[in-house]
Amino acid sequence: MELGHLVNFKTYRKSYKNKKIQKNDPENWQIFENCHEAIIDQETFDIVQRIRDGRRRLTPMGEMPMLSGMLFCADCGAKLYQVRHRGWEHDKEHFVCATYRKVKGGCSSHQIRNVVVEEILLSELQRITAFAREHEDEFLEMVTKKSLAELNKSQREGKRELEQAMQRISKLDKIIQRLYEDNVEGKISDERFAKMSSNYEAEQEQLEARIKELKHLLSAEKEESLNANHFLDLVRRYTDIRELDAEIIREFVEKIYVYKAERVDGHRVQRIKIIWNCIGEFNTPANEKSA
């Protein structure tokens, strides 16, 4: 409703004689976009959902998780799970890869302490907000240039996959037609024809679903590519961030990728990558020079 979309078929009746209303699976809902004027934009809506999610999920110890659901394994893509026990000091609490915990040999632990992530995140947040506040024009130019480059690359890849899928569907139509002709002429049995045509038709259905998805993604990317002004609005609201909380993190951060720790000159070194809301990954000029 807030986004201007209309959602139909959230409920149903098993028959016209049965007046009891059943809840429909979300996959069976039909969403008609832009049916009326939106109250808020998609970016703001997504951020609010993340903030609400962080607020309502308390730990078994009754505490609000600050980083829960925000950390992801940079290698397998799984979420990182919080590891903590009663009586532990905060600097002992850490995250580990979900795949590492569930699947033996599936991934490495990617273990990282909460305080390390919090320290890096606060430092980077202070750096990027200061830069955006003090150099608005340069910030907008950098984000716009980066967003357009990423958009062009993504659009090229999406269009290439879309074209390949459409060509494959056309080819499958011809294959099925030849199979039908061979069946009519007695070159292949009815059983063989049914099995082969069924396989090809299943592939066609998958391709058609992917084509629909690609068209939606390509359209959505154009609309959501340039959101630097949303980020600047957040920067203006938070003028001096001294410490983190769950709400601030979800306002500014989309997700954080944690890489496998390495040994460099006898020291444990571990990289994290922050994906910011609205602008994605972003390095200030100071970061790029010192890297």
Asked if the structure places residue 114 within a domain, the reply is no
Question: Which residues have CB under 8 Å from 133's CB, separation 6+?
Answer: 235, 236, 239
pLDDT class for 162, splitting at 50, 70, 90?
very high
Domain count for the chain: 2
Closest CA to 40 of 274, 215, 233: 233
Give tens-digit pLDDT for 102-139.
988 899 999 999 999 999 999 999 999 999 999 999 98
Please tell me the pTM assigned to this model: 0.60
Asked if the structure places residue 157 within a domain, the reply is yes
Q: What is the pLDDT of residue 75?
A: 94
pLDDT class for 250, splitting at 50, 70, 90?
very high
**Last residue of one domain, picked from the residues 215, 236, 257:** 236
Q: What residue numbers bound the domain in which 192 lies?
A: 146-236
Instruction: Assess contact for 235 and 82: CB atoms under 8 A.
Output: no
More confident residue, 34 or 211: 211
Sign, CA dihedral 216-217-222-225, equals: positive
> Taking the CB of residue 98, how many other CB atoms lie within 10 A of it?
19
